[in-house]
Amino acid sequence: MPKIQFWYDFASNYSYLSAMRIEEEAAMEGIGVEWRPFLLGPIFAAQGWDTSPFKIYPAKGRHMIRDMERICADRGMSFRLPEPFPQNSLQAARLALIGEGEGWAPAFTRELFRLEFGEGASLADRQVLALALAAAGQDAEAQMQRTQAPEIKTRLRARNEEAQALGIFGAPTFITEGGELFWGDDRLEQALAWSLR
Amino acid sequence: MPKIQFWYDFASNYSYLSAMRIEEEAAMEGIGVEWRPFLLGPIFAAQGWDTSPFKIYPAKGRHMIRDMERICADRGMSFRLPEPFPQNSLQAARLALIGEGEGWAPAFTRELFRLEFGEGASLADRQVLALALAAAGQDAEAQMQRTQAPEIKTRLRARNEEAQALGIFGAPTFITEGGELFWGDDRLEQALAWSLR
């Protein structure tokens, strides 16, 4: 069974679109998904950006919101941009990284994205993180404490270095087993088709 | 018959993708196309960029080339990035603007994009512009002289001011009669569907 890596950041609205559909669409093609939470922040910083390009370039940001509204309406998904945007996704990424090793990252990720971009909930709210952990069958208090372990912090840094080394510059990004890189929710179908070549 | 505006810049590789298919795809939906050549340069300059974002952000530029190769292969189109990239599209935009008023902008635009991004030809080469003018049934020498008329220069400046006022920040951009703005070749189908609502 071919596998595809799904690189995503909880601060990224377009990652929300992919997180909610990738498992199902990949399964229909007989492809497995490897969830790869990471942080765009350090990558944007290396490009000289201190926040999302949607904030830096207001016309681009206005289009992004309208684009999200249209796409979510087409797909029957709700959309509400959290305040502030982008959200700080550090704690969420650490939790997803823990879940990645234990098989609950997909359920946690989907629920957290749904709360954040479907309902506009804040990632700074521990209650929100706890709801997503509970949806993934996890003990929220225990998992949140684990995010402070040096080992988790080190793993997230290594993950981000890997992203940079792979040439990742935005999210979502899909990488096939042959190393072919696709950027953007609108390239998901193409990335899956490539995985079957 | 509903109409859609197609805003494009000859320096934009993704505009090449749309130029080669928009007329046919719009016709199948019973939609007319209004070709709107403009220059991204002044818009990028207002955002603090002195060249294409694909040059400023190398990882993004590498992905763009691979993305173009994949899409062009899928669509049976050739692709060769001109050197240097991006090309200076001022003269080409003035010619297309003249053609827009006289009905030959589509034929001229398609042939020039095909030469530039299908064969890697230079927009600085008068022979290349002449070939595209000839393909549109025009007297190349006569049309190239017209680009120096103050009226044409003024019209192009007004066109760019209109682009900025409309919130255009990249190309290709599609705008429906209701003023709905879609950015990117990958939004063409969505823009056409919106035009029929």
In this predicted model, what pLDDT tens digit does every residue of B106-147 receive, in sequence order?
Answer: 999 999 999 999 999 999 999 999 999 999 999 999 999 999
Percentage of chain A beyond pLDDT 90 is 96
- Inter-CA distances, A169 with A7, A47, A151, Å: 11, 9, 25
* DSSP secondary structure, B45-66, as one string: HHTT-SS-HHHHSHHHHHHHHH
Three-state DSSP class for B117?
helix
Task: Please tell me the predicted confidence (pLDDT) of residue B48.
Answer: 87
Percentage of chain A beyond pLDDT 70 is 100
Nearest residue in A to B47, CA atom: A57
Q: Which domain holds residue B35?
A: 3-195
Residues of A in contact with B182 (CB under 8 A): 67
- Give every strand in the sheet of B32-37, ordered side by side: B32-37, B3-8, B173-176, B181-183
Q: How many CB atoms lie within 10 A of CB B14?
A: 21
Tens of pLDDT along A79-116?
999 999 999 999 999 999 999 999 999 999 999 999 99
Tens of pLDDT along A140-190?
999 999 999 999 999 999 999 999 999 999 999 999 999 999 999 999 999
pLDDT-derived band at B19 (thresholds 50, 70, 90) equals very high
Q: How far apart are alpha carbons B173 and B151 in whole angstroms?
A: 25
From chain B, which residues contact A within 8 Å (Cβ)?
Answer: 47, 57, 59-60, 62-63, 66-67, 70, 74, 167-170, 180-184, 186-187, 190, 194
Place of tokens 């681009």: A60
Q: What is the average pLDDT across A47-59?
A: 90
CB B56 within 8 A of CB B49: yes
Q: What is the average pLDDT across B78-95?
A: 97
Task: List the CATH number of the domain containing B190.
Answer: 3.40.30.10
Residue B180 has pLDDT above 90, yes or no: yes
pLDDT-derived band at A63 (thresholds 50, 70, 90) equals very high
Task: Please tell me the predicted confidence (pLDDT) of residue A48.
Answer: 87
Alpha-carbon B121 to chain mean position: 15
Could you tell me which of B141, B177, B157, B54 has the C-alpha nearest to residue B97? Answer: B157
Q: What mean pLDDT is reported for chain A?
A: 97
As for the ipTM of the complex, it is 0.95
Q: pTM of the full predicted structure? A: 0.96
Task: Please tell me the predicted confidence (pLDDT) of residue A47.
Answer: 86
* DSSP secondary structure, A80-106, as one string: ---SSSSPP-HHHHHHHHHHHHHT-HH
Percentage of chain B beyond pLDDT 70 is 100
Asked whether the beta carbons of residue A170 and residue B60 sit closer than 8 angstroms, the reply is: yes
Structural domain count, chain B: 1
Asked whether the beta carbons of residue B186 and residue A183 sit closer than 8 angstroms, the reply is: no
Contact partners, residue A112, CB within 8 Å, separation at least 6: A10, A92, A96, A123, A128, A129, A132
Interface test with B, best of A43, A63, A183 (most B CBs within 10 A): A63
Task: Please tell me the predicted confidence (pLDDT) of residue B97.
Answer: 98
Q: What mean pLDDT is reported for chain B?
A: 97
